[in-house]
């Protein structure tokens, strides 16, 4: 079983290397994070906060947009693309179960994403440390950011697999992946903020809003990271809610993990029904 899962995962990684997906994702993450670190954290010195930490705060917001996008782009083609090309017929005629196939794909894509995150963000962290503006605490913050980004990535990889298993054509899957990204990452927040601004002191703000944030993996990710930094007062914006939350921020991490698990289980169920 494990050798078959590793075979599928290995193939995904190899394809990721060959068509330069890994390289591209790592470069994008490195460029954006470097830009944020070098330009965005200029005033950090006057605030007396570790420059690494303040960079992590900006990177958490960056991850919310970039990581889901990269994950969806990796995953949308995973099932319907193989159906379209006829390779799924051949792969599934081998003695491999559909579950093993899906887990192999997820493992391969997660490793591709992890590599890009570790290299991209690691480069930024390394440069900051080399420039003498980093501490051990800052590095811990960086490590937490990378690990939770991987978890966020797995959430969106799973969303991608669900969409890929539901559609018959890779073009449709690509369009629905973009729609999912737009909804979960952009529109969901806008809608929540809009509702909050419209009635700031209602039941919504106290009882619905915090849990609505918890349900969306992108928001849960940001919430957990900013709360863990303890720097929310510095960052402002949505992070301000972290202090007034009716629950422990660890719950956000749990929600992230639960979302990943449920979405992956959902895609595993859908893959069982596929007629390749």
Determine if 14 is a binding residue for other proteins (CB under 8 A).
yes
Q: From CA 50, how far away is CA 109, in angstroms rounded? A: 33
Determine if 272 is a binding residue for other proteins (CB under 8 A).
no
Q: From CA 92, how far away is CA 99, in angstroms rounded? A: 11
Residues from 71 through 130 that contact other proteins (CB under 8 A) = 85-87, 89-97
Determine if 11 is a binding residue for other proteins (CB under 8 A).
yes
Determine if 202 is a binding residue for other proteins (CB under 8 A).
no
Q: Nearest to residue 268, comparing CAs of 104, 148, 110, 112?
A: 104
Residues from 222 through 261 that contact other proteins (CB under 8 A) = none
Which of these segments, 1-9, 133-141, 209-217, 244-252, binds other proteins (CB under 8 A)?
A: 1-9
CB of 159 to other proteins, least distance (A): 23
CB of 22 to other proteins, least distance (A): 12
Among 3, 46, 201, 244, binds other proteins (CB under 8 A): 3
Residue (40 or 276) nearer to other proteins, CB? 276
Determine if 169 is a binding residue for other proteins (CB under 8 A).
no
Determine if 1 is a binding residue for other proteins (CB under 8 A).
no
CB of 96 to other proteins, least distance (A): 5
Q: Which residues bind other proteins (CB under 8 A)?
A: 3-4, 7-8, 10-11, 14-15, 18-19, 85-87, 89-97, 275-276
């Amino acid at each position: 079983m494990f050798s078959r899962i590793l075979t599928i995962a290995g193939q995904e990684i190899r394809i990721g290397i060959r068509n330069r997906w890994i390289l591209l994702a790592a470069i994008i993450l490195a460029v954006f994070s470097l830009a944020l670190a070098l330009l965005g954290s200029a005033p950090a010195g006057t605030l007396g906060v570790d420059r690494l930490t303040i960079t992590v705060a900006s990177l958490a917001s960056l991850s919310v947009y970039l990581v889901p996008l990269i994950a969806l782009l990796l995953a949308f083609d995973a099932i319907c693309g193989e159906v379209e090309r006829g390779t799924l017929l051949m792969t599934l005629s081998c003695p491999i179960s559909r579950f093993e196939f899906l887990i192999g794909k997820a493992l391969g894509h997660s490793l591709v994403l992890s590599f890009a995150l570790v290299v991209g963000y690691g480069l930024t962290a390394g440069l900051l440390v080399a420039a003498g503006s980093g501490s051990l605490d800052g590095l811990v913050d960086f490590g937490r950011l990378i690990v939770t980004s991987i978890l966020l990535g797995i959430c969106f990889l799973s969303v991608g697999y669900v969409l890929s298993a539901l559609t018959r054509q890779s073009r449709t899957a690509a369009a629905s992946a973009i729609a999912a990204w737009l909804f979960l990452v952009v529109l969901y927040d806008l809608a929540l903020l809009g509702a909050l601004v419209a009635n700031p002191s209602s039941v919504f703000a106290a009882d619905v809003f915090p849990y609505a944030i918890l349900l969306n993996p992108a928001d849960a990710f940001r919430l957990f990271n900013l709360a863990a930094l303890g720097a929310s007062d510095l960052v402002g914006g949505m992070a301000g809610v972290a202090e007034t939350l009716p629950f422990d921020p660890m719950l956000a991490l749990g929600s992230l993990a639960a979302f990943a698990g449920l979405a992956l289980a959902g895609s595993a169920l859908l893959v069982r029904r596929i007629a390749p």
